[in-house]
Amino acid sequence: MPSLFKTGSALAATISFALAGTPETCSNPQTSCSGSSTNTCCFNTPGGLFQQVQFWDTDPVTGPDDSWTIHGLWPNSCDGTYSENCDSSRAYTDITSLLTAAGQTSVLDYMNTYWLSDDESNEAFWDHEWATHGTCVSTLDPSCYTDYSKGDEAVDFFTKVVSLFKTLPTYTWLANAGITPSSSKTYSLSDMNSALEKAFGAPVVLLCQDTNVVYEIYYGFHVTGNVQNGTFVPTTSTGSTTNCPSTVKYPPK
- Each residue of 205-240: pLDDT tens digit? 999 999 999 999 999 999 999 999 999 999 999 999
Half-sphere exposure of 129 (CA within 13 A, CB side): 26
Active site residues per annotation: 71, 129, 133
Taking the C-alpha atoms of residue 147 and residue 59, their distance in angstroms, rounded to an integer, is: 45
246, 233 Cβ separation under 8 angstroms: no
pLDDT tens per residue across span 81-139? 999 999 999 999 999 999 999 999 999 999 999 999 999 999 999 999 999 999 999 99
Host H or E run for residue 195: helix 189-200
Q: Place 7 in a pLDDT band, splitting at 50, 70 and 90.
A: very low
pTM value surpassing 0.75: yes
Taking the C-alpha atoms of residue 240 and residue 251, their distance in angstroms, rounded to an integer, is: 24
**Phi-psi domain of 151 (left: phi exceeds 0; alpha: psi -120 through 50; beta: other):** left
pLDDT tens per residue across span 35-82? 789 999 999 999 999 999 999 999 999 999 999 999 999 999 999 999
Taking the C-alpha atoms of residue 174 and residue 179, their distance in angstroms, rounded to an integer, is: 5
The 10 Å CB-count burial string (b at 16+, else e) for 126-162 is: bbbbbbbbbbbbbbbbeebbeebeebbbbbbbbbbbb
Taking the C-alpha atoms of residue 225 and residue 222, their distance in angstroms, rounded to an integer, is: 10
Q: Report all structural domains of the chain as residue ranges with CATH numbers, in order of start.
A: 2-56+69-169+218-246 (3.90.730.10)
- Residues in the chain, total: 253
Host H or E run for residue 112: helix 105-114
Characterize the bridge pairing of strands 69-76 and 205-209: unpaired
Taking the C-alpha atoms of residue 152 and residue 72, their distance in angstroms, rounded to an integer, is: 18
Q: Place 180 in a pLDDT band, splitting at 50, 70 and 90.
A: very high
Question: Nearest Cα to 126, choosing from 141, 110, 102, 138?
Answer: 110
Based on the number of CB atoms within 10 Å of its own CB, is 22 exposed (0-12), middle (13-18) or buried (19 or more)?
middle
Characterize the bridge pairing of strands 205-209 and 187-188: unpaired
Q: Place 2 in a pLDDT band, splitting at 50, 70 and 90.
A: very low
DSSP E strands, 99-163: 145-146
